[in-house]
Amino acid sequence: MDVNIQKFLNIESKAQLSAFLGISTEKLNYLLFKLPHEEKYNSFEISKKTGGKRIIDAPIKPLKLLQRQIATILFEVYKPKTGVYGYVKNGGVKRNAEVHLRSKVLFRADIKNFFPSIHIGRVIGLFSSKPFSFPRNIAVLLAQICCKEDVLPQGSPASPIISNFICRGLDRDLLEYARSVRCKYSRYADDIFISTYKKFMPGSICKLEHDDGVGFCNINDGLEDIFETHGFSLNKNKLSVAYKHNRQIAAGIKINEKLNVDREYVLNLRAMLHSWRKDGYDVAAAKYNELKPNPSYARAFKNAVRSKLEYLGYVKGYGDPVYLKYAMWLSRLDDGYTFNKRSYEMENNKKLVVYTEGVTDQLHIQAAKNYFREKGEFMHLDFRFDDKSEVNGAPDLEKYLIQDRKEPNQEFKVYLFDDDLKKVTSKLDIAPGESSRWFGNKIWAALTPKPQHRKDDELFCIEMYYFDADLERKDSSNRRIYLNSEFDAKGFHNTESVVKTKPGSGLIVDNDAYSMVSKEKVSLSKIAFAENILYKKQGFEDVNFEGFRPLFELLQNIYNQAYLH
């Protein structure tokens, strides 16, 4: 354990607490007990994006410094629950939005009076219990430092992390509740999100007031009880549901097909840049600042433009054409903003370009990537797929590899071959016991490494990363994919009344198996199977991706060689 954390946890007296915080006991007593309450904080209002006002209680500098020291320690001690993305390491609105990306239905709720609902008694209880277990007098002192008039103030640097500690039980119960109905849960501060890949949101979450697929909803009593049990209530007028054909927003980010910002956000940034270019900085800044608390602060406009641009890149990606367009625009207007498009693209897009034998490989790998990212694994492995729709199998992929070896490459490329066609894979001349080969010119060829549940001498394709139980999953129409090994030489299934009509050399029977009883097709196509898994369709919500781990370890190793050596 960190020495500073251990020192904090060992505090047993006011003198020790004062020494740890770097303040005399006399000054601590003055701040807590002699300074009038109204002089400890500067209170002011700010406008909410959704309308109305929010009161901010900003602590005076000496008190703020103490709160910040406490917050720094608490951040180190706090272990985020699954689904918590506000005020945590590796969190943020983007990570929160990724949880619900491409969901069919998104439910949103807002905790009412979030910080003020956490009163000083709850904070004292926090510091009195594990992992802190402070003596009562120290727990009370810490709570008094962090609270304003017996509640957590909005504006204190310690309030966010304290609220995360207080919400541990709430997060645990909401996560379990959501999972019990095959939904995903996340919390970003006081914003609650629950999503599903099903066609409709389960009634145990909420029920729409209208049938138009968007709007206000009534929360299920069982779900609401969880909030009340943990001392919170919801803003009933902010409960909403959005279906995929409507605009789905999670903490300000659109999640329908890809992470994006509102169109109005981009238009607003464009208007600010246009005004700067057309009217000059002073006029543009004056227009922007006239409604701000400090109209004379001319630099506020420049800071706002830079901030908006940075957020655009954060959400859409720093290689996004829209971001690059406005970054170049700003670099021509703002002498203090330097931007080299080529170097910036290279620095902020350290990705491998992965080529596969077909689109289904990409869908499976993307699904596995989502799985590992949700667990916080392979977070620094970044890659994208090249869109070569004309590639159909290993022979086509080999042709592209040969062609690329002859031309200069600006990006590191990985040609990923299924180990199921020895005629092609033997040409790659990959050393025995190895899974990849460096050809120079920023190119690797790689064979899909086998997971432990597959035999070394067994031919292999991407679907074989799944365990048999997942390979045999059936969709809502009772169809599944079949392996060619399940059929005899005449096309009859070994154990089921199923027949295939075409000979196949691959490992998978692609959409060509029929019931001998009903004459109806009972097989899934490879693409349908992949989409069922990626989009977590009914029956495919809890697929096990652990078999993909050797593949991701291989890609991580290649990535490290490309960018970290």
CATH code of the domain containing 109: 3.30.70
Same domain, 388 and 337: no
Determine the pLDDT at residue 443.
Answer: 93
Note the pLDDT tens digit of each residue in 433-469.
778 889 888 999 999 988 999 887 777 889 999 999 9
Same domain, 554 and 522: no
Same domain, 72 and 89: no
Same domain, 430 and 327: no
Listed in sequence order, the residues at least 6 apart from 334 whose beta carbon sits closer than 8 Å to its beta carbon are: 302, 305, 306
Same domain, 26 and 42: yes
Residue 105 counted as domain residue: yes
Distance of CA 344 to CAs 217, 312, 328, 565, Å?
45, 15, 11, 20
Alpha-helix residue ranges (DSSP H) falling in 375-525: 394-405, 422-425, 468-471
Same domain, 391 and 283: no
Where the chain has pLDDT below 70, the residues are 1, 49-51, 209-215, 291-298, 340-349, 387-391, 420-425, 504-505, 564-565
Determine the pLDDT at residue 295.
Answer: 56
Determine the pLDDT at residue 102.
Answer: 82
Determine the pLDDT at residue 235.
Answer: 93
Scored b (16 or more CB within 10 A) or e, 513-538 reads: bbbeeeeeebbbbbebbbbbbbebbe
Nearest to 201 by CA among 105, 110, 103: 105
Q: How many domains does the chain have?
A: 5
Say how far apart CA 134 and CA 131 lie, in whole Å.
9
Residue 69 counted as domain residue: yes
Q: Which of 348, 378, 403 is the last residue of a domain?
A: 348
Say how many residues make up the chain.
Answer: 565
Nearest to 537 by CA among 523, 551, 547, 527: 527
Say how far apart CA 486 and CA 488 lie, in whole Å.
7
Same domain, 333 and 283: yes
Same domain, 232 and 93: yes
Determine the pLDDT at residue 50.
Answer: 64
Tell me the residue range of the domain where 95 lies: 82-114+165-260
Residue 342 counted as domain residue: yes
Listed in sequence order, the residues at least 6 apart from 494 whose beta carbon sits closer than 8 Å to its beta carbon are: 486, 487, 488
Residue 158 counted as domain residue: no
Residue 159 counted as domain residue: no
Determine the pLDDT at residue 272.
Answer: 95
Say how far apart CA 263 and CA 257 lie, in whole Å.
15
The residue type at 459: L
Half-sphere exposure of 20 (CA within 13 A, CB side): 23
Note the pLDDT tens digit of each residue in 276-323.
999 999 999 988 877 665 655 667 889 999 999 999 988 988 878 899
Determine the pLDDT at residue 299.
Answer: 75
Same domain, 255 and 270: no
Determine the pLDDT at residue 49.
Answer: 66
Three-state secondary structure along 143-201? HHHHCECCECCCCCCCHHHHHHHHCHHHHHHHHHHHHHCCCEEEEECCEEEEEECCCCC
Residue 160 counted as domain residue: no
Q: Which of 313, 348, 383 is the last residue of a domain?
A: 348
Same domain, 368 and 436: yes
pTM value is 0.63
Residue 459 counted as domain residue: no
Same domain, 15 and 145: yes
Residue 281 counted as domain residue: yes
Q: Which of 153, 181, 214 is the last residue of a domain?
A: 153
The residue type at 243: Y
Sign of the Cα pseudo-torsion (397, 399, 405, 410, in order) = negative
Same domain, 44 and 100: no
